[in-house]
Amino acid sequence: MKMRLMAAVTVFCLAGMPGMGVPERTNVLFIVADDLNDWVGCLGGHPLVKTPHIDALAQRGVVFTNAHCQAPLCNPSRTSVLLGKRPETTGIYGLKPWCRDVSGLREAVSLPQYFSRNGYRTLATGKIFHGRFGMRKEDREFDVTGPGYDDGPYPLQRIAALPGRQNRGNDWGVVGGRDEERGDWKIASWAVELLRSAPQFPFFLSVGIRLPHVPLFATQQWFDLYPDDQSVLPLVKRGDRGDTPRSSWYLHWQLPEHRREFLEGAGQWQGQVRAYLACVSFLDEQVGRILQALRESGLEKNTIVVFWSDHGWHLGEKGITGKNTLWEESTRVPLVFAGPGVTGGLRNATPVELLDIYPTLLDLCGLPARGAELEGVSLRAMLQGGAPSQPRLARTTAGPGNQSVRSEGFRFIRYADGSEELYDLREDPHEWVNLAHRKELKSLIRGYRGQVSGTFAPPVRGSGGRVLEWDKGRPIWEGREIPAGAPIPGMKAR
C-alpha cells in the first residue's frame, strides 16, 4: 500500500511543482462518517459522548447545528451529496443500484470528478459512495484510491448473545487485538501517510470512515470511556408512536436492525448503546489522526476541511434502532467546515442540507459554479458569518412521496398515503407530540405542505434494498405488498 501511494504522490508532485504552470489552489479534505447521528460533543446529542477532535475542528470552523441529510439511507444520501441532486430527482431511493448503473446518471459529473477536471488530483480511501462503489478498479471516480470499505476482522463468534438473531453484520461488543488492526485505522493511516508527504499538488482527498456503522466493534479502551449502566441510554417515551400514522412503520418495515423492545427483553439495549458510543469515540480518534497529519504537514492553512455523516441513527428512540425514518434522530447529521474562507468559532442554526456541500466547495475553491445543474446552494456567506439570502428549509426523502420538511422551529412530515405529522421542536425537541390534527394549526400545516416536493421520480430500474413503493394505494415493501392490518415485524401484538 505504501509503495503504491508514494508512487502516485511522486507522479502528482512532479505534475504540480512550482514553475510548471499550475496555480496555487485551496486543497480539500473531505471526511465522511457512516451512520453518525448528532451524538457529537459540538451538537450536544448525548451528554456523555467524547469527541474531542471533531469538537476542536468545529471550534476552528463553523458547525451547522441544524444540518440534515437528503435521505436516511446510505446509497441515496451519498449519491445526492456526490452528484448534487435530490433522491426525488435521481430516482435512487434504496441500497441499490449504484448511480453509474443508471442510464440517466452514468455521465453525471460527481463532486470529485469536477475537481479533477479543474486541475485537482483526487484521492480516496474508505467508503465514499455506497459500499465499495467508486473504489473498484473499473470505476473512474478518483485519480488514486487506497483501502476501501472495511469492517475490520470479525471475532470468531458473535459477541452480543441475542436469541434467534444471529446476523453477524449487526453484532456489537469488545474485540481483542490492537486498534491498528481495525479497518478504519488502516483507512485513516493511508490518509495520514499521504498528508505527511506534504504533496505539492492541489488535492481533493476523500476519507470515508465506516464507524459507527454496524457491526459495532471496538477495543476495550473505547468502551472504558463510558459507564456500563443506564446513564448511557437515550431519553425515550414509552408509547411514543401512539399518535404517529401506521405508514411511519412502512419506511422500516423489515430491517436487520432490532426493535427496542426486543433488545430490552434480551437485556442488550444498554450494551448496544454503549458500543455505539465507543465506536463514535474511535471514529473521532481517526479524525484526530488525520487532522494532526494535516497540521504537521503545514497544509492546514491552505486546506478546507469538511466533516459530515451520511445520515443519523436511532438507538431506541421511537421504539427502534437503525435509520430509515423521517425524524430528527435519522435526518440530523454533523456538518462542519473549517479552513480558508471560513470564520472560526461559529455555530449556525439555519436549516441546511448535505446537498449544499457540492456548491459550497466549488464556491470556496473558486471553481466555476454549475448553476441549475446542482440542486443545493452555497453556504459560503454563512461560513463567513453572514445570514442566508432567504429563509431556508431542509428536506429529507425516504422513498417516493415520503418527505420531511425541517425549519428552524418545526418538522413537518408527509407520507405517500397522505398521512402527516407536525412537531414544534421549540417546545418538543424529542418529537413526542404529533400536532398534525390540531385545527388551530391548519394554516401552518398548509404552508409546510406546500414545501413538500411536487414530483418524485419513480424508483430507477434495479432498485432494491429498503425501498418502499405504493401501488394503487397499497404499500409495497421490497417488492411485496404489506397486507392491511399486518402485525408490525419485531413488535409484540398490542
Q: How far apart are CA 227 and CA 231, in angstroms?
A: 7
Q: Would residue 411 count as lying in a domain?
A: no
Which residues touch 56 (CB under 8 Å, ≥6 apart)?
288, 291
Domain count of the chain?
A: 1
DSSP 3-state of 227: coil
132 class by beta-carbon count within 10 Å (0-12 exposed, 13-18 middle, 19+ buried) = middle
Query: What pLDDT is stored for residue 220 in this prediction?
Result: 97
Q: Say which residue the cell 480516496 belongs to.
A: 124
Q: Which long-range contacts (CB under 8 A, 24 or more apart) does 2-6 make?
A: 2/193, 5/144, 5/146, 5/190, 5/193, 5/194, 6/197
> CA nearest 413: which of 434, 392, 430?
434
pLDDT at position 280 over 70 = yes
Q: Is 311 a catalytic residue?
A: no
Residue 422, φ and ψ in degrees, nearest 5: -140, 135
Query: What pLDDT is stored for residue 133 in this prediction?
Result: 87
Q: Would residue 376 count as lying in a domain?
A: yes
* Cα angle for residues 54, 377, 379 (degrees, 5° grid): 40
Mean pLDDT over 216-238 rounds to: 97
Query: What pLDDT is stored for residue 49 in this prediction?
Result: 98
166 pLDDT tier (thresholds 50, 70, 90): low
What percent of the chain clears pLDDT 90, i.e. is strictly above it? Answer: 85
- Alpha-carbon Rg for the chain, nearest whole angstrom, is 22
| DSSP-assigned letters across all residues of 138-201 | T--S-SEEEEE----PPPSS-SS--TT---GGG-EEE--S-GGGSHHHHHHHHHHHHHHT--SS
pLDDT at position 213 over 70 = yes
Residue 62, φ and ψ in degrees, nearest 5: -120, 130
| C-beta neighbour count of 224 within 10 angstroms | 12
Query: What pLDDT is stored for residue 47 in this prediction?
Result: 97
Mean pLDDT over 182-191 rounds to: 97
Mean pLDDT over 448-474 rounds to: 96
Total H helices, total E strands in the chain:
14, 21
Query: What pLDDT is stored for residue 493 in this prediction?
Result: 58
Decide if 395 contacts 353 (C-beta within 8 A): yes
- Looking at the DSSP bridge assignments, the partners of residue 31 are 207, 307
DSSP 3-state of 305: strand
Q: Is 130 a catalytic residue?
A: yes
Q: Would residue 182 count as lying in a domain?
A: yes
Decide if 357 contacts 380 (C-beta within 8 A): no
Task: Give me the catalytic one of 42, 53, 68, 74.
Answer: 74
Report pTM. 0.95
231 pLDDT tier (thresholds 50, 70, 90): very high
Q: How far apart are CA 238 and CA 319, in angstroms?
A: 8
Mean pLDDT over 151-170 rounds to: 80
Query: What pLDDT is stored for residue 452 in this prediction?
Result: 98
* Cα angle for residues 436, 442, 443 (degrees, 5° grid): 130
Which residues touch 428 (CB under 8 Å, ≥6 apart)?
none
Q: Which three cell numbers stand for residue 55?
A: 469538537
Residue 434, φ and ψ in degrees, nearest 5: -80, 120
Task: Write the pLDDT tens digit of every residue in 35-72.
Answer: 999 999 999 999 999 999 999 999 999 999 999 999 99
CATH number for the domain spanning 156: value is 3.40.720.10
Q: Would residue 402 count as lying in a domain?
A: no
- Looking at the DSSP bridge assignments, the partners of residue 33 are 309
13 pLDDT tier (thresholds 50, 70, 90): very low
Q: Would residue 19 count as lying in a domain?
A: no
Task: Give me the catalytic one of 53, 68, 130, 213.
Answer: 130
9 pLDDT tier (thresholds 50, 70, 90): low
Mean pLDDT over 185-200 rounds to: 97
Q: Would residue 419 count as lying in a domain?
A: no
Detail the DSSP E strand segments found in 385-493: 394-397, 403-406, 410-414, 420-424, 468-471, 474-477, 480-481
Helix 269-296 with 183-196: angle, nearest 10 deg: 10
* Cα angle for residues 36, 39, 43 (degrees, 5° grid): 110
Q: Which domain holds residue 115?
A: 2-13+25-392
Which residues touch 307 (CB under 8 Å, ≥6 apart)?
31, 32, 33, 54, 57, 287, 334, 335, 336
Query: What pLDDT is stored for residue 156 in this prediction?
Result: 80
Task: Write the pLDDT tens digit of every residue in 101-133.
Answer: 999 999 999 999 999 999 999 999 999 999 888
Pick the range with the lowest mean pLDDT from 7-16, 123-132, 264-273: 7-16
C-alpha 406 chain-centroid distance? 17
Pick the range with the lowest mean pLDDT from 6-10, 98-102, 258-262, 396-400: 6-10
Which residues touch 383 (CB under 8 Å, ≥6 apart)?
61, 62, 337, 341, 342, 343, 346, 360, 364
Q: How far apart are CA 285 and CA 289, in angstroms?
A: 6
Query: What pLDDT is stored for residue 18 in this prediction?
Result: 38
Q: Would residue 471 count as lying in a domain?
A: no
DSSP 3-state of 245: coil
Q: Would residue 400 count as lying in a domain?
A: no
138 pLDDT tier (thresholds 50, 70, 90): confident
Query: Torsion angle of alpha carbons 160, 166, 167, 169, nearest 10°?
Result: 40
Mean pLDDT over 60-87 rounds to: 98
